[in-house]
Amino acid sequence: MIKSVCIFCGSSSLEGKKVSFNKEHEKIAKKIGKELALRKIKIIYGGAKVGLMGLMANEALKNKGEVIGVALKSFKKWNILHKKITKIYLVNTLQKRKELMYKKSDAFIALPGGIGTIDEVFEVIATNILTKSNKLLILLNYKRFWDKLINLLDTNIKQKYSKKEIKDNIKVATTVTKIIKILDKEIS
């Protein structure tokens, strides 16, 4: 049963004075935060107040959701730590951060994001395989955002560097509505 979902998404927010993320991605981040909060699914995320991460967390909080941050201690120094979330865990290393996120989450959703998001996605895939776990990973492939990653996994399987089982726990959705349908199926 899925009671907690870790959301991976971008933390980039500004380039100069312009917002650097896609406005459609902003709507997606807010919608997933709201939908999970309304379903009383605990959200685990990277703990930042900026970018899609901050937007998603704020929307979940606005809808009375429980939001748990797992952040690097350096976020304090950089002044990007979200201070209004339900609970925050501060860790020293990225590895500890990803370990704690994995441990506290029943499933994972990857929204658009940068290298950190990509790293987190591969961490879930590798941890599932190497520990024989089966935690669900949903890729929001909105406007084909994750196509190249999906193709890379397919190529890796085709060339026999990985078994097809690496994709067993990965679902691909193109909308938040489809993500919710996947989760609803897993919850019931």
Residue range 111-164, pLDDT digits in tens: 999 999 999 999 999 999 999 999 999 999 999 999 999 999 999 999 999 999
22-50 CB burial, b ≥16 within 10 A, e <16: eeebeebbbbbbbbbbeeebbbbbbbbbb
6-10, 175-179, 181-185: least confident range: 181-185
Per-residue pLDDT at 18: 54
Contact by Cβ (8 Å): 142, 24: yes
What is the Cα–Cα distance from 93 to 65, expressed in whole angstroms?
Answer: 27
